[in-house]
Chains A and B, each alone.
Chain A
Amino acid sequence: MELPNPDPRPRGEVRELERIWATPRGWRLVTAVNNTVIGLLYIGIAFLFFLMAGVLALIMRAQLAVGDSRLIDQDLYNQMFTVHGTTMMFLFAVPAVEALGVMLLPQMLAARDLPFPRLSAFAIWAYVVGGLVFFSTIFYDLSPKGGWFMYPPLTLTEFSPGDNADFWLLGIGFIEISAIAGAIEIVVGTLRTRPPGMSLAQMPIFAWTMLIFASMIMFAFPAVILATMMLEIERAFGWPFFTAALGGDPLLWQHLFWFFGHPEVYIIFLPAAGLVSMIVPTMARTPLVGYHLIVVALIATGFFSFGLWVHHMFTTGIPALSLAFFSAASMAVAVPSGIQVFAWIATIAAGRERFRMMTPSLFILGFLFIFTLGGLTGVMVAMVPFDYQVHDTYFVVAHFHYVLVGGFVFPLFAAFYYWIPLFSRRPLSERLGRWVFWLMFIGFNVAFLPMHLTGLKGMPRRVWTYPGDMGWDLLNTISTVGAFVLGAGVLVFLVDLIARFRAGEPDVENPWGAGTLEWLPNDVYSTRSIPHITSREPLWDRPSLAREVRDGHHYLPNAPTGGRETIVTSPIHARPQYIIQMPGPGWPPFLAAVFTAAFFLLLTVKIVTVAVVCGVLAIAFVLIWTWGLDPGPSKGMIEIAKGVRLPTYMTGPKSHSWWAMVVLMIVAGSLYFAYVFSYLFLWLVSPEVWAPAGSPAPPPAFWPTSTAVLLLSGSVLIWLISRRLGKLAVSPFAMSAALLLSLASLIGALALELSGHLMTGLSPGDNAYGAMVYLGVVLFGQLAFALTILGLYTLARYLTGKLDGVRRVTFDNYMLLYHYAVAQSLFGLGLVHGFPRLIG
């Protein structure tokens, strides 16, 4: 292969890269946006949550060690198991995966950074502040008590008074939004910032898993965001979505929660499988066996996981045939998982040299053992008759800990030992690593294997204590001993980490002799030059690659725009398309995150005025942060290799900004799909009260027709503005007026829709039908609110000369979201106005 930049590079390029990508020092460190810095913070905080939730688990195990124990009281126990589950799932597992993505993806893809570094920083700080405040509620008797799934009616105000449940609903709902921000970054980063030549067929498996992980978040999280909105609205304003007496149904929560909750298991597991698929070939010193099969298994698992949610609801009275559909899917998902397990075993067996039994390998083998056992019990509980017997017993607790600890925690520790040499001057201790593994492996199995029997003997989940004569004492005592041994393993790891981890340049490059790009020589700017890729293990297939990259013989060995930048490539074949200019450190993302967190948390404790002020400040800082983006084409074309010149600006469907907006629209669409499902579900469970007798008829056809006309007029106006933007014949006044008119159409449509329902006398608090109708207006209102801010921001950029026919990214975003809002609202009009007439 001919080198992209064969000639020697001028001196000073590396120093310039170091200056541009330098990490802020001192208290300005919080303004950093480099993936290596915020990624470390992200994984560090996620691990802190793991430790804190682990301590709660140990206290609970101490309480359960013997029957009739009074170590802690029942109320605190309820808070502890809720915070333990919630923290492990929402504050540890998903953020830890996103942290690994932020840390490792740019390195694996040899990109200088992911495309939206400030969005990453915002998401991380929002998570840090929101997460710490949520966890701290355990110290003030303010934690939720309804379990990590917060089932109503237990969590309705009647049975859970006070603010405890609201901390879960607003706190976790907000952290999910942060996870979605991270998912947008990962989807666009994986598809658009790969190095030239790295087609989909050559993408590292971890990148595949992160792509599927982020895509799953886009479809799964909106369901639980809608559910938390509905439950919070019911608690705060009495709209009866989940109150059966008023046409609601508590099972709706379960459907929405588990439509998120089951994929969540795979959202956690798939990236862990990706870590395993990266480590196993290195330790076996041979390429991964069955790369195609593993990609197939990952995609299939991602899809099938969305068809399993009802298996959490087998005992709720759903018709048997429905259960059979989901039972079949639950067993079918075991097939792609099995494919991966066999591929890893085959890779271990295929190595010409003996599999290296280092600490990461031990954790991988531990994962294989534990996860396979968890998978087998998963097939057992996928069978409806068996599930009836063990539902809500400790058998299920054992099953999901085997899946989640085996399927995520063990691979994560393997990843710590494997990748820490990339970020630390010294690797972790191999001797202590073996202690960590054996303590954790033995401790885990001693703790959780007996729980299968405890469950089969009938011990229910979530009990604070139990009578001493039930025959459960010995099994519980063994489990408690195991839990503390497991905790000791984690403690040894922590000691090793504190003793040996020192952020900085590693002493040894590529200590494992791995074949993937993250082991290229790295610095704050990632690799000196971005390599051309021709295989899946480029470092094995081209031994000179590290030297070539370090000497700047590949793409973009310098900083031609004078700022932070990386190459954007095409999503399938990774052909270079343009150079993205990225922002550097700054206060706005940090402050926006802090005020966003403050808005949600203050709202939880009903300090509404201050919360609104914080919300306004958060929006203001987001606008300040985005004002400096969209630099326009002023830098022209630049040379990234000999004879290869790329533009430094891109608009339209090829631009990363367009892609991010499309991803956001998919998220919004998923949320609206969950709303449509909820509407139809409530009708289906109580068709006789849809609408209830005496309820007003829907507004006359004039109202929805006028709303639709306004919406369509707005869309046409946007289309006209798009065509005329930048044309000299159009006066700035006309363009500004048109932008304002488009907003007026949207707000007018919203006002008409709301007025129509109010005019009929329909009230959202009377019954579930009314609540669902007005929820549709709320969702429309959310989009209208976002578009109003975006529209005014677009107008401001236009009036200050930062928007024209070429420099039009802001307008394109407004246009995309506007058309989406119109489409969603038109569909909503059909549902809310048409459906009752259709069935009536």
Chain B
Amino acid sequence: MIEPGKEAPTASAVFFLVAGPILWAAHLLVVYGVQSVTCAVGNSAVAPSVLIQASVVLVTLGAILLLCFGLFFPGRLAHMLGYEMPEPHNRTFSVRVERLLSLLSLMGVVWSGTSVFLIDVCGLLR
């Protein structure tokens, strides 16, 4: 008789593999949300454009830092998420996928984040 197979929690594996895209999604949600809310109801003492630009820059820098962490230290990220990868073949696969997804997400985050310097933050196109 064998024991039913044991392995790392599936949620840990999923979060490790798609850490990059999750950060990308969180970044998009926050920058879109902050900009939409500030433009719609902004009545603070600070001008909306400054508030939005500062928020987007901060959030983008934060996302870049976290993505770089996932890109350069996948082992530590796996450990933090409780994802143990004992088998070399699966470890190689998981790390490659995690890093490449982080790289693609980094591109997406930078692409979105830089637009705040190019476009009027609350302006309409019509």
CB within 8 Å of B: which residues of A? 191, 199-201, 292-293, 295-296, 299-300, 303-304, 306-307, 317, 319-325, 327-329, 331-332, 335-336, 384, 388, 569-573, 575-578, 637, 644-647, 650, 654, 684-685, 687
**Inter-subunit contact B5/A307 (CB<8 Å):** no
Per-residue CB contact flags for chain B residues 14-41 toward chain A (1 = under 8 Å, else 0) read 0001100110110010011001110111
Per-residue CB contact flags for chain B residues 57-93 toward chain A (1 = under 8 Å, else 0) read 0000000000000000000000000000001011011
**Residues of chain A with a CB closer than 8 A to B54's CB:** none
**Residues of chain A with a CB closer than 8 A to B18's CB:** 299, 303
**Inter-subunit contact B120/A572 (CB<8 Å):** no
Q: Which partner residue on chain A sits nearest B115 by CB separation?
A: A324
Bound-state CA distance A292–B108 (Å) is: 20
**Inter-subunit contact B123/A637 (CB<8 Å):** no
**Inter-subunit contact A654/B35 (CB<8 Å):** no
Q: Which partner residue on chain B sits nearest A534 by CB separation?
A: B89
**Inter-subunit contact B115/A335 (CB<8 Å):** no
Q: Which partner residue on chain A sits nearest B1 by CB separation?
A: A645
**Inter-subunit contact B97/A319 (CB<8 Å):** no
**Inter-subunit contact B10/A647 (CB<8 Å):** no
**Inter-subunit contact A292/B41 (CB<8 Å):** no
**Inter-subunit contact A570/B89 (CB<8 Å):** no
Q: Contacts A303-B24, A303-B25, A321-B52 hold; do A335 and B13 have CB atoms under 8 A apart?
A: no
Per-residue CB contact flags for chain B residues 92-126 toward chain A (1 = under 8 Å, else 0) read 11101100110011011001100110111111111
Bound-state CA distance A9–B100 (Å) is: 47
Closest 6 CB pairs of A and B: A575-B5, A201-B93, A303-B21, A324-B115, A328-B111, A645-B1
**Inter-subunit contact A328/B108 (CB<8 Å):** yes
**Residues of chain B with a CB closer than 8 A to A306's CB:** 25
Q: Which partner residue on chain A sits nearest B116 by CB separation?
A: A321
**Inter-subunit contact A325/B10 (CB<8 Å):** no
Bound-state CA distance A83–B21 (Å) is: 36
**Inter-subunit contact B4/A647 (CB<8 Å):** yes
**Inter-subunit contact A637/B1 (CB<8 Å):** yes
Residue of A295, A307, A575 touching B28 (CB-CB under 8 A): A307
**Inter-subunit contact A573/B119 (CB<8 Å):** no
**Inter-subunit contact A388/B120 (CB<8 Å):** no
**Residues of chain B with a CB closer than 8 A to A328's CB:** 108, 111-112, 115
Residue of B89, B101, B122 touching A201 (CB-CB under 8 A): B89
**Residues of chain B with a CB closer than 8 A to A335's CB:** 104, 107
Could you list some 14 contacts between A and B, CB below 8 A?
A: A200-B90, A292-B97, A300-B104, A303-B18, A303-B21, A319-B124, A320-B124, A321-B119, A322-B36, A332-B104, A332-B107, A573-B90, A644-B2, A650-B4
**Residues of chain A with a CB closer than 8 A to B13's CB:** 200, 571-572
Q: Which partner residue on chain A sits nearest B56 by CB separation?
A: A321
Residue of B7, B21, B115 touching A321 (CB-CB under 8 A): B115
Bound-state CA distance A569–B4 (Å) is: 9
Bound-state CA distance A293–B35 (Å) is: 34
Indicate the member of B25, B125, B126 with the most A CB atoms within 10 Å.
Answer: B125
Bound-state CA distance A541–B58 (Å) is: 51
Q: Contacts A299-B97, A328-B108, A332-B108 hold; do A569 and B125 have CB atoms under 8 A apart?
A: no
Q: Which partner residue on chain A sits nearest B13 by CB separation?
A: A572
Indicate the member of B32, B118, B122, B123 with the most A CB atoms within 10 Å.
Answer: B32
Residue of A323, A331, A576 touching B5 (CB-CB under 8 A): A576
**Residues of chain B with a CB closer than 8 A to A322's CB:** 32, 35-36
Bound-state CA distance A647–B39 (Å) is: 59
Q: Which partner residue on chain A sits nearest B93 by CB separation?
A: A201
Residue of B5, B24, B124 touching A317 (CB-CB under 8 A): B124
Bound-state CA distance A571–B13 (Å) is: 10
Range class of the B interface residue count? 35 or more
Bound-state CA distance A324–B114 (Å) is: 10
**Residues of chain B with a CB closer than 8 A to A637's CB:** 1
Q: How far is the CB of A321 from the nearest CB of chain B, in Å?
A: 5
**Inter-subunit contact A296/B7 (CB<8 Å):** no
**Inter-subunit contact B36/A319 (CB<8 Å):** yes
Q: How far is the CB of B97 from the nearest CB of chain A, in Å?
A: 5
Interface majority SS on B: helix, strand, loop or mixed? helix
Bound-state CA distance A150–B3 (Å) is: 54
**Inter-subunit contact B7/A570 (CB<8 Å):** yes
Bound-state CA distance A650–B5 (Å) is: 13
**Inter-subunit contact B111/A332 (CB<8 Å):** yes
**Residues of chain B with a CB closer than 8 A to A644's CB:** 1-2
Bound-state CA distance A322–B124 (Å) is: 10
**Inter-subunit contact B5/A292 (CB<8 Å):** no
Q: Which partner residue on chain A sits nearest B120 by CB separation?
A: A320
**Inter-subunit contact A320/B123 (CB<8 Å):** yes
Q: How far is the CB of B54 from the nearest CB of chain A, in Å?
A: 14
**Inter-subunit contact A646/B124 (CB<8 Å):** no
Bound-state CA distance A304–B120 (Å) is: 25
Residue of A575, A578, A647 touching B7 (CB-CB under 8 A): A575
Q: How far is the CB of A639 from the nearest CB of chain B, in Å?
A: 9
**Inter-subunit contact A300/B101 (CB<8 Å):** yes
**Residues of chain B with a CB closer than 8 A to A569's CB:** 5
Residue of A324, A578, A684 touching B4 (CB-CB under 8 A): A578
**Residues of chain B with a CB closer than 8 A to A573's CB:** 5, 7, 87, 90
**Residues of chain A with a CB closer than 8 A to B100's CB:** 292-293, 296
Q: Which partner residue on chain B sits nearest A578 by CB separation?
A: B4
Q: How far is the CB of A617 from the nearest CB of chain B, in Å?
A: 37
Q: How far is the CB of B64 from the nearest CB of chain A, in Å?
A: 15
**Inter-subunit contact B41/A572 (CB<8 Å):** no
Residue of A191, A307, A684 touching B24 (CB-CB under 8 A): A307
Q: How far is the CB of B9 from the nearest CB of chain A, in Å?
A: 9
**Residues of chain B with a CB closer than 8 A to A645's CB:** 1-2
Bound-state CA distance A575–B2 (Å) is: 10
**Inter-subunit contact B21/A299 (CB<8 Å):** yes
Bound-state CA distance A576–B119 (Å) is: 55
Bound-state CA distance A825–B82 (Å) is: 30
Residue of B24, B97, B125 touching A320 (CB-CB under 8 A): B125
**Residues of chain A with a CB closer than 8 A to B123's CB:** 319-321
Given contacts A200-B94, A299-B101, A576-B5, 13 further A-B contacts (CB under 8 A): A199-B93, A292-B96, A296-B97, A319-B35, A319-B122, A320-B120, A322-B35, A329-B112, A571-B7, A571-B10, A575-B6, A576-B2, A684-B41
Indicate the member of A293, A296, A336, A637 with the most B CB atoms within 10 Å.
Answer: A296
Residue of B92, B93, B118, B122 touching A324 (CB-CB under 8 A): B118
Bound-state CA distance A324–B28 (Å) is: 11
Q: Which partner residue on chain B sits nearest A568 by CB separation?
A: B4
Bound-state CA distance A171–B29 (Å) is: 32
Q: Contacts A200-B90, A322-B32, A324-B118 hold; do A570 and B111 have CB atoms under 8 A apart?
A: no
Q: How far is the CB of A115 from the nearest CB of chain B, in Å?
A: 16
Bound-state CA distance A238–B108 (Å) is: 42
Indicate the member of A317, A321, A322 with the most B CB atoms within 10 Å.
Answer: A321
Q: How far is the CB of A418 from the nearest CB of chain B, in Å?
A: 27
**Residues of chain B with a CB closer than 8 A to A303's CB:** 18, 21-22, 24-25, 105
Indicate the member of B1, B4, B10, B41 with the most A CB atoms within 10 Å.
Answer: B4
Residue of A296, A327, A687 touching B41 (CB-CB under 8 A): A687
**Residues of chain A with a CB closer than 8 A to B105's CB:** 300, 303
**Residues of chain B with a CB closer than 8 A to A646's CB:** 2, 4
Q: Which partner residue on chain B sits nearest A325 by CB separation?
A: B112
